[in-house]
Each structure stands twice: as structure tokens, then as C-alpha cells.
Copies of this chain bind each other. A is one copy, B any other.
Amino acid sequence: MVLDAAAYRFCRQGYAATTMRDIASDAGMLAGSLYYHFKSKTALFLAVHEEGVRRIAEAVDHAVLTANQHDPWQCLENGLSAHLQSLLDGGDYAQVVIRDLPAEEASLRDQLIELRDDYELRFRKLVDALPLNNPDDAGWIRLMLLGAANWSKTWFRPNGASPAEIAAHFVRLLRNGETVGTKS
């Protein structure tokens, strides 16, 4: 399928380094034929990006819903685990969302950033639900977790720790220092 081929290439080469002929070749057709499905290269990239955000969001929402609702830290860990899983072995679509945004057209850039912000709103909620010693730390915890998670694609190796394990470690390190004094 065309979108799959585009995701494959955009994921590995980035936007600028990917040519319409690359994508067409992978999809088993010629470059011109792509314009029957998408009206431009940027439109094709936007479609891949949207599908990527949709998939990650779906995975995270599902993971959070089925989490232990009585432990906000566990909810957060489940969400982060789903985020990492989508990113690290969730196929090409998810990684395109994290890769470099094409800086050329400002309007496209703004659209992509808006998509990403909408998505990250989920983690804002998850972190705000935590019982923190200092509620002002919520923002820092969110930035730390998402940053560390998104950067993990640079050092992740399939034979190392699994996405779920990584999420557990990250959340645990922050939880130890922020657990409120309710030893029940």
C-alpha cells in the first residue's frame, strides 16, 4: 500500500532525503502514479504523520483504560509503556511522528506540532493525577519522561530491555523521589 511505503521511507530517511521515486518503487509503481492518491509530497507526509499519531494515541488510551485505576503511578507507567512500545517496535508510522519535522513549509510544521501537542495532552492528565509532594513538579516529570522516552529510539536495541521494562525503570526512578508520605 502507498501509505505503508511512504511511512517506511520517511521513517528511515526523513522527509527531505526521501524521493517520490523511492516511495513509488517500494509501492510497486511509478512516481507519477502516486499523485492519483495524494496531491503532493507534503500531503503524503502529513497523512503518514496523522496515521502515526492516531496509532500511538490509540495504543496509549487502551493501555491506560485497562490499567489499575487505583494507582496513578501504575496508570502512568502503562501509558508510557504503550508509548514506548509504539515507538520502538510499533512499525514505521509511529517513528515518523518523532523524527525530524520538515522545516521548509511553516504551515505544515504548525500542523504537525499541533497534532503532537494534542497527543501529549494525555500525559499531562496522567501526570497531574499523581499524588506529588510538590505539585509544581508535574510539568518537569512529564517533560522528563516524554523526553527520555522519545530519545530512546537512538539507543534502543531489540535484544536489550523491552519497552515495558524501560517504562518501568523510568517511572520507578521518579516515583521513589516523589512518593507522598502515605505509608498505608
Contact = CB atoms under 8 A, between A and B. Distances in A.
B17 A104 contact: yes
Nearest to A146: B151
Contacts of A155: 143
Given A174-B177, A177-B173, A178-B176, A144 B143 contact: no
B152 A151 contact: no
This chain: copies in complex: 2
By secondary structure, the A interface counts as helix
B14 A103 contact: yes
Nearest to A104: B17
Interface residues of A, number: 33
A36 interface: no
Contact of A13 (B103, B145, B175, B177): B103
A169 interface: yes
Nearest to A13: B103
B152 A150 contact: no
A173 B170 contact: no
A147 interface: yes
Interface string A124-148: 0000000000000100110111111
A108 to B, nearest CB: 13
A17 B15 CA distance: 9
Contact of A102 (B17, B152, B169): B17
Contacts of A174: 173-174, 177
A43 interface: no
Contacts of A176: 176-178
A14 B155 CA distance: 21
Interface of A: 12-17, 99-100, 102-104, 137, 140-141, 143-152, 155, 169-170, 173-178
